[in-house]
Amino acid sequence: MSVLPIFNSFNPILKQKTKPISEITDEIKNLAKDMFDTMRNTENGVGLAANQVGKDVAMIVIDLSDVDEYKDSGIGELVLLNPQITDFSDETDFYNEGCLSSPGFYEDVERPISITLQYMDLNGETVILECKNFFARVVQHEIDHLNGILFYEKLSAFRKTLSKNKLRKIQNGDYEIHYKMIDADGNLQTN
């Protein structure tokens, strides 16, 4: 088990588009395990993108096994390689999102309620899934990460202005966390 430090959202790696995975190596499989360990160590994480642990590959892990709505759904733990959204619903809703890379910052974000997701699993099989509600939201938040997009960049200009001071604190590493982080400049934070 390896818990990896999580990169601050102001670190440049979170602004880069990740590279597609062409071969499922042991390195990729081990990274998936480490990403689950890392996410569980945060206690409230439900999704994590590889660039949030400093790895430039298009991989996401999701764990909805503790979310009431999905307890009996069989969704549970998922590893998504090269995930793509191939269809969005016109209907949208708002939800108060947060991110392990920007601790303590939450804002309502508007997103489509349902999506069609296509990805490759760890066996190299292509999977197509219809996702709704919270599941669809988590997938969209994490795929945005793989494309270098942060959830607070989707806020209205007005909400962005109101969020400025809080985001500056995150940029400066001024927050309380119980997991390790790499700050905006690439240094390991030890608080």
Residues with catalytic annotation?
A: 142
* Interatomic CA distance for residues 54 and 28, integer angstroms: 13
Between 81 and 99, CB nearer to Zn ion: 99
Task: Report in angstroms how near the CB of residue 176 gets to Zn ion at its nearest.
Answer: 18
Between 50 and 99, CB nearer to Zn ion: 99
Residue nearest to Zn ion as judged by C-beta position = 99
Between 3 and 24, CB nearer to Zn ion: 3
* Binding-site ranges for Zn ion (CB under 5 A): 99
CA angle 89, 121, 39 (to 5 degrees): 85
Task: Report in angstroms how near the CB of residue 88 gets to Zn ion at its nearest.
Answer: 19
Between 99 and 117, CB nearer to Zn ion: 99
Task: Report in angstroms how near the CB of residue 101 gets to Zn ion at its nearest.
Answer: 5
Task: Report in angstroms how near the CB of residue 122 gets to Zn ion at its nearest.
Answer: 22
Which amino acid appears at position 120 of this protein? M
Name, in order, each residue with C-beta under 8 angstroms of 20's C-beta and a sequence gap of 6 or more: 57, 58, 82
CB-neighbour burial class of residue 89 (10 A; exposed 0-12, middle 13-18, buried 19+) = middle
